[in-house]
Structure 1
């Protein structure tokens, strides 16, 4: 099963900056925060992945600035 938001094309520079960091330690440019955290959370739900406390706090902090965001996802089979 694939999802349009499982992979997002980015520049090599952006990919190097992010590395294996989660939203607790790295975020993309502010204008895409809402999309990024939406896709991050949807992917976590879809694959039933764990979220640590620092990551959860960061996601909630960033989500507070996205008041009209709707999130949908498909559970992986």
Structure 2
């Protein structure tokens, strides 16, 4: 993966996971689809996903800065 693609993936994933964690967006969508039984496991999925995408963004920025300095 190139640095730009890695960074874009990290940023987009972080924004989507943050929106679903901190707003009732996912609750409304799942409720309207009749999948409200899945709401109990959202914390087990969204918080690790948010941590992963933040780490991916930090790694991509670190890799990009390291490539510039060489």
Query: Normalized against structure 2, the TM-score is what?
Result: 0.32
Larger RCO (CA under 8 A, 6+ residues apart): 2
Query: Normalized against structure 1, the TM-score is what?
Result: 0.30
More helix by share: 2
Max radius of gyration: which structure? Answer: 2
